[in-house]
């Protein structure tokens, strides 16, 4: 696992981004691996949907961890887990439970999932520092992706969202995060400013093709996530096939 963590961390290169085709179960994880991707990343939204729950830590933590464990056991690649804001676990338990799944990375966000309220920047930095300290104390090399939600929560004007993301990104890296994820930053100028102003790797979401992977690389992005978008694409196809079948048409002719 130490080697897998080092491999995952080393793949965060600005201008040559790590592309994460997010998986939600063992079958999709195996498909990601078979397609030649270097890492499997989970998506909490898609896993929750597959388990029958809404996103936002509505899925019981035991079910979420069990799903992540099945994914990690299904592949030989490094696995990083989307763990929202930690499901209320104390840092030491969070590290222990994530490591027990076989994953070597974790994505942690800075807004409260049920309410959508932003966590105060100092409090979130302390939380990330405690997670890093707990990992070091346990001898676990954990790659921490610190998601910041100022854009997705629309906190203030676009300029204020950018300023908050820059401040939070710097604070989170200083606290021990390996990468900063300003989710919902999709405009080229904003991404360019984030890459220039955050002193570490920057993760962005693939905005349904608003910018190509090549364009994101040119902007200096180090990591690209898809979140639940690929699952939704699969389910759209499934829905279309079901509609055809219900209409007494051949679903395989679509």
CATH number (domain holding residue 38): 3.20.20.60
Count of C-beta atoms within a 10 Å radius of residue 128: 22
| Residue 254 domain-assigned (yes or no) | no
pLDDT in tens, 19-69: 999 999 999 999 999 999 999 999 999 999 999 999 999 999 999 999 999
Number of domains composing the chain: 1
pLDDT in tens, 157-171: 999 999 999 999 999
Q: Among 132, 163, 160, which Cα is nearest to 146's? A: 132
Domain of residue 52: give its range: 2-245
| Residue 250 domain-assigned (yes or no) | no
Q: Which helix (H) or strand (E) holds 223?
A: strand 223-225
Q: Counting Cβ atoms within 10 Å, is residue 23 exposed (0-12), middle (13-18) or buried (19+)?
A: buried
The secondary structure of 165-220 as a DSSP string is: HHHHHHHHHHHT-SEEEETT--SHHHHHHHHHHSSS-BEEE--TTSS-HHHHHHTT
Angle at 77 between CA 212 and CA 195, to 5 degrees: 35
Helix 61-74 × helix 26-34 angle, to 10°: 30
pLDDT of residue 207: 85
| Residue 208 domain-assigned (yes or no) | yes
| Residue 50 domain-assigned (yes or no) | yes
| Residue 251 domain-assigned (yes or no) | no
| Residue 171 domain-assigned (yes or no) | yes
| Residue 252 domain-assigned (yes or no) | no
| Residue 129 domain-assigned (yes or no) | yes
Q: Among 62, 48, 143, which Cα is nearest to 95's? A: 143
Count of C-beta atoms within a 10 Å radius of residue 217: 18
120: DSSP letter: P
Helix, strand, coil fractions of the chain, as percent rounded to 5: 50, 15, 35
One pLDDT digit (tens) per residue for the chain, 254 residues: 999 999 999 999 999 999 999 999 999 999 999 999 999 999 999 999 999 999 999 999 999 999 999 999 999 999 999 999 999 999 999 999 999 999 999 999 999 998 999 999 999 999 999 999 999 999 999 999 999 999 999 989 999 999 999 999 999 999 999 999 999 999 999 999 999 999 999 999 998 778 999 999 999 999 999 999 999 999 999 999 999 999 999 999 87
């Amino acid at each position: 696992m130490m080697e897998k963590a080092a491999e995952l961390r080393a793949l965060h290169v600005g201008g040559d981004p790590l592309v994460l085709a997010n998986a939600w179960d063992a079958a999709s994880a195996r498909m990601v691996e078979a397609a030649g991707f270097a890492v499997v990343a989970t998506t909490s939204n898609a896993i929750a949907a597959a388990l029958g729950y809404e996103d936002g830590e509505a899925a019981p933590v035991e079910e979420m961890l069990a799903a992540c464990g099945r994914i990690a056991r299904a592949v030989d690649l490094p696995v990083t887990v989307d763990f929202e804001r930690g499901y209320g676990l104390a840092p030491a338990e969070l590290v222990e439970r994530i490591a027990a799944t076989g994953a070597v990375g974790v994505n942690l966000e800075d807004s409260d999932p049920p309410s959508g309220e932003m966590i105060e920047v100092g409090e979130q930095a302390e939380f990330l520092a405690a997670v890093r300290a707990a990992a070091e104390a346990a001898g676990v090399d954990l790659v921490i992706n610190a998601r910041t939600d100022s854009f997705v929560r629309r906190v203030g004007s676009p300029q204020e969202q950018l300023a908050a993301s820059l401040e939070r990104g710097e604070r989170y890296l200083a606290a021990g995060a390996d990468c900063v994820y300003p989710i919902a930053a999709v405009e080229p100028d904003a991404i360019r400013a984030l890459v220039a102003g955050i002193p570490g790797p920057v993760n962005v979401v693939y905005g349904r093709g608003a910018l190509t992977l090549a364009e994101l690389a040119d902007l200096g992005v180090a990591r690209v996530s898809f979140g639940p978008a690929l699952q939704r694409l699969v389910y759209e196809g499934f829905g279309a096939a079901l509609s055809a079948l219900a209409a007494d048409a051949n679903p395989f002719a679509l």
